[in-house]
Amino acid sequence: MYNLSNLYKMYIFRQTAFMPIVSATHAKRNFAAMIDAAQREPVRIQRHERDVAVLISADEYEKIRKMRVEDLIRLSEENGRYAESKGMTDALPEQLLADEH
């Protein structure tokens, strides 16, 4: 797993710190209401007082997914710069692959 940015961590904390909590049984019996509630804010679902799921809107999911993709791109770029600073070039992987055959 990659290292999350501070902004992403703050976003997740803000979204999860004060969300409503419902039992899995309640969520099952009132699923349509849970979907409606998730359009306004994430809903934490618990079974035996343990978190088992979080229901979020499709828009919220897309925001989180986009943030993770952006974080992955940033991390890849950082790794590329680090590899270059240590002398890694495009020729080295090609050479290593050629040596295997």
Per-residue pLDDT of 40-68, as tens digits, reads: 999 999 999 999 999 999 999 999 999 98
Q: What are the structural domains of the chain?
A: 6-86 (3.40.1620.10)
Q: What is the pTM of this model?
A: 0.58
68 touches 60 (CB < 8 A): no
Per-residue pLDDT, 86: 86
80 compared with 53, residue with greater pLDDT? 53
Angle, alpha carbons 71-77-81 (nearest 5°)? 145
Order of strands, sheet of 21-23, starting from the edge strand that comes earlier in the sequence: 21-23, 43-47, 50-55
- What's the rounded mean pLDDT across residues 76-81? 90
